[in-house]
Amino acid sequence: MSRSFVVLGGTGDLTGRLLLPSLARLHETGVLGDESGLLAVARDEWDRRAYREWARGRLAAHAGELPEATRDRLVGRLDFAARDVTDPDDLRAALSRVDGEPVVYLALPHTLFRPTLTALAEVGLPEGARVVVEKPFGTDRADARVLNELLHRLLPEEAVFRVDHFLAKQTVLDVLGLRFANRVFEPVWNAAHVERVDIVADETLGLEGRAGYYDRAGALRDMVQNHLLQLLAVVAMEPPLTVDASSLPARKADVLRAVRPPADVRAASVRGRYTAGTVAGRAVPAYTDEDGVDPARQTETYAELTVTVDNWRWAGVPFRLRSGKALGAARQEIVVRFRPVPHLPFLDAEPEPDVLRLSLSPDAIALEVDLNGTGDPFDLEREVLAARMAPHDLPAYALLLRELLDGDTTPSISDVEAEESWRIVEPVLAAWAAGEVPLREYPAGSGGPAGHPPPPAPARPETSA
Ligand SMILES: NC(=O)C1=CN([C@@H]2O[C@H](COP(=O)(O)OP(=O)(O)OC[C@H]3O[C@@H](n4cnc5c(N)ncnc54)[C@H](OP(=O)(O)O)[C@@H]3O)[C@@H](O)[C@H]2O)C=CC1
Ligand SMILES: O=C1O[C@H](COP(=O)(O)O)[C@@H](O)[C@H](O)[C@H]1O
């Protein structure tokens, strides 16, 4: 049976910047066979020719490394339907354009998942269909529950793919290898040896024309509720029996169940929004001056949250999650800080405890340790044992699309995880909405809201081990 790929939200930023380039790669490698139909759906009054022109431009901008002939082969296969996907008749008409088992990808603003799945449940899907839902999975926990019910009415859980592309990033996959394929880390991977964990996703990008989605999401829903909590889950989970769809999501779900939201949201969270500034020499307007932003929504572009994982392994260890837009420096990393040694046999020395940095961009791992220096043999000096990984053959989105086209849900978020993640952030969203935590302003290009510096930068430029 042939497969078709249907993107609902086929003119959006995600489709143009990440999905089309990934599809072009997969088409080239044969994962996406020539028999597969490719259909994009959005409300724009375009025809197939106009859509192909748009797609050609997106591919030139975001997949320039692929030969033009490769990009053109994908473009030549694209079909477009100008339809409202929340309308069952429109959706039925759009789906009737493809044959075979459809993979229906909801590349839509999160507020549209419910009306779209409701329409899809009315239209129905053929045997063998799959549904892919982007993040954040709904608007809150109640909405996520409804989404899960709608999905389960349509399909078995094995045919549902809740996307979190951070799970397909190389360093995140490397955390599994590092922890579970080596003897040295796991014995110290617990509260007895780890003092704190920082999970950071600082971006230099601003809104990038995405107000339609972002202004109703904000940094907490856009990054913390999903990507950063998934990183926390991968770092903190118990060893899975096997790295597969039955074990990995279940072990992550255990961690998320154990995460305790902060009792004092005011003390444990920071909420910020950028004002006008300069990022890497580029003038950035204030968030509130961006097209489509409604300042009355008080949407945050910076979110920070500290939680604990209340289980045997992690009791008492703070996990600080932080993400912001239009910051001065881009940084994506997981930083594991170890406790000091129980007794230091070096008189007068006050070394920093060990730090393990797992960098997602670029993909690199660095262990900062204290060694006897090159000068006085009994003095301590900070050294960095570092490894930088060559890029994966496939970028994260292409890897995810390959897995979902194969029907492997190992890197998917389970229904339980999706709902638990909302449970964790909901008290924070409620406190923020009630104005209990001030919305602090920070200039674009700065380090974030004043008084909340990022975790210390690496000890010194990395050298390859
Ligand atoms: N952009 C990114 O970097 C990333 C985005 N994501 C996720 O992807 C999803 C989409 O984000 P993004 O692409 O940025 O959002 P955009 O606002 O850029 O795109 C939304 C798309 O949905 C379409 N759409 C909206 N309403 C309807 C409707 N009723 N019927 C049919 N089509 C509709 C829009 O077209 P039109 O309005 O013309 O109908 C457009 O094609 C979000 O869930 C986001 O979290 C995930 C990772 C990265
Ligand atoms: O999901 C999202 O992720 C991107 C950051 O992902 P990256 O792979 O480019 O690091 C973020 O910019 C966007 O706001 C968010 O929707």
Q: Where are the domains of the chain?
A: 3-134, 166-395+411-443
Does residue 416 register a pLDDT over 60?
Answer: yes
- The dihedral built from the CA positions of residue 178, 181, 184 and 187, taken in this order, carries a sign that is positive
Q: Where are the alpha helices (DSSP H) in 97-169?
A: 113-123, 141-154
- Residue 392 pLDDT more than 90? no
Q: Is the peptide bond before 362 cis (omega within 30 degrees of 0)?
A: yes
Average pLDDT over residues 84-105: 96
Q: In the predicted model, what is the mean pLDDT of residues 191-209? A: 96
| Residue 180 CB contacts under 8 Å (≥ 6 apart), including other chains | 186, 239, 240, 243
Query: Does 43 show up as a binding residue in the annotation?
Result: yes
pLDDT of residue 284: 97
For the chain, give the longest Cα–Cα distance.
79
| Residue 464 predicted with pLDDT over 80 | no
Residue 436 one-letter amino acid: E
First to last CA, the chain: 49
Atom 35 of ligand 1: nearest residue by CA position: 42
Distance from the CA of 92 to the center of ligand 1, in angstroms?
20
Q: Using a 6 Å cutoff on CB, does residue 205 contact ligand 2?
A: yes
Per the omega criterion (within 30 degrees of 0), is the bond before 136 cis? yes
Residues 6+ apart with CB under 8 A from 10: 39, 40, 41, 42, 51, 80, 107
- Quote the tokens at residue 395: 């970028």
The residue-averaged pLDDT of 14-29 equals 94
Name the residue at shortest CA distance from atom 24 of ligand 1: 9
According to CATH, the topology of domain 3-134 is Rossmann fold (3.40.50)
Judged by its nearest atom, the ligand closest to the C-alpha of residue 87 is: 1
Q: What is the pLDDT of residue 34?
A: 74
Residue owning the nearest CA to atom 4 of ligand 2: 223
Expressed in angstroms and rounded, the spacing between residue 14 Cα and the centre of ligand 1 is 7
Candidates 62, 227, 343, 452; catalytic one: 227
- Based on the number of CB atoms within 10 Å of its own CB, is 461 exposed (0-12), middle (13-18) or buried (19 or more)? exposed
Tens of pLDDT, residues 139-172 = 999 999 999 999 999 999 999 999 999 999 999 9
Residue 226 alpha carbon, nearest atom of ligand 2: 1
> Which of 408, 465, 429 minimizes the C-alpha distance to 221?
429
For ligand 1, mutation pick of 6, 7, 11, 14 (most atoms within 8 Å of CB): 14
Please give the CATH topology (third level) of the domain spanning 166-395+411-443.
Dihydrodipicolinate Reductase; domain 2 (3.30.360)
Distance 389 CA to ligand 1 centre (A): 32
Among protein residues, the one whose CA lies closest to atom 30 of ligand 1: 84
**18 Cβ contact list (under 8 Å, min separation 6):** 62, 165, 397
Is residue 133 within 8 A of residue 409, CB to CB? The reply is no
Q: How far is CA 330 from CA 209, 253, 290, 445, 456, in A?
A: 19, 29, 21, 10, 14
- Is residue 335 marked as binding? no
In this structure, the strands spanning 363-372 and 380-388 are antiparallel
- The protein residue whose alpha carbon is closest to atom 3 in ligand 1 is 14
Residue from 6, 87, 108 to probe ligand 1 pocket by mutation (most atoms less than 8 Å from CB): 108
Residue 241 alpha carbon to ligand 2 centre in Å: 30
**Nearest ligand to the CA atom of 107:** 1
- Report the separation in Å between the CA atom of 45 and the middle of ligand 1, taken as the mean of its atom positions: 16
Q: What is the mean pLDDT of the chain?
A: 94
Q: Ligand 2 within 6 A of 222 CB?
A: yes
| pLDDT tens digits along 32-47 | 877 778 999 999 999 9
What ligand has the least distance to the C-alpha of 230? Answer: 2
**Cα gap 162→151, rounded to integer Å:** 11
Ligand nearest the Cα atom of residue 331: 2
Average pLDDT over residues 189-206: 97
Q: Is 13 in the pocket of ligand 1 (CB under 6 A)?
A: yes
d(CA 324, CA 442): 10
Q: Which of 18, 171, 203, 333 to mutate to test the pocket of ligand 2 (most atoms within 8 A of CB)?
A: 203
Q: How confident is the model at residue 461 (pLDDT cuts 50, 70, 90)?
A: very low
pLDDT exceeds 90 at position 299: yes
Cβ(6) to ligand 1 under 6 A?
no
**Could you tell me the distance, in angstroms and rounded to a whole number, from the CA of residue 299 to the centre of ligand 1?**
18
Residues 6+ apart with CB under 8 A from 182: none
Q: How confident is the model at residue 463 (pLDDT cuts 50, 70, 90)?
A: very low
As a whole number of angstroms, the distance between CA 434 and CA 416 comes to 28
- Does the beta carbon of 42 lie inside 6 Å of ligand 1? yes
Residue 152 annotated as catalytic: no
Q: Where does 295-438 show beta strands of DSSP type E?
A: 302-309, 318-324, 331-338, 355-360, 363-372, 380-388
Closest ligand 2 atom number to CA of residue 361: 10
Whether the complex's predicted ipTM is more than 0.85 is answered with: yes
Closest residue CA from atom 9 of ligand 2: 203
Measured CA to CA, the distance from residue 86 to residue 155 in angstroms comes to 19
Question: How many Å lie between the centroid of ligand 1 and the Cα of residue 256?
Answer: 27
105 with 7: CB under 8 angstroms? yes
> Does residue 203's CB lie within 6 angstroms of at least one atom of ligand 2?
yes
Of the listed ranges 221-230, 272-281, 389-398, the one predicted with least confidence: 389-398
252 known ligand binder: no
Nearest 5°: the CA angle 278, 211, 169 is 75
Would the CB of 134 count as within 6 Å of ligand 2? no
* Residue 203 Cβ contacting ligand 1 at under 6 Å: no
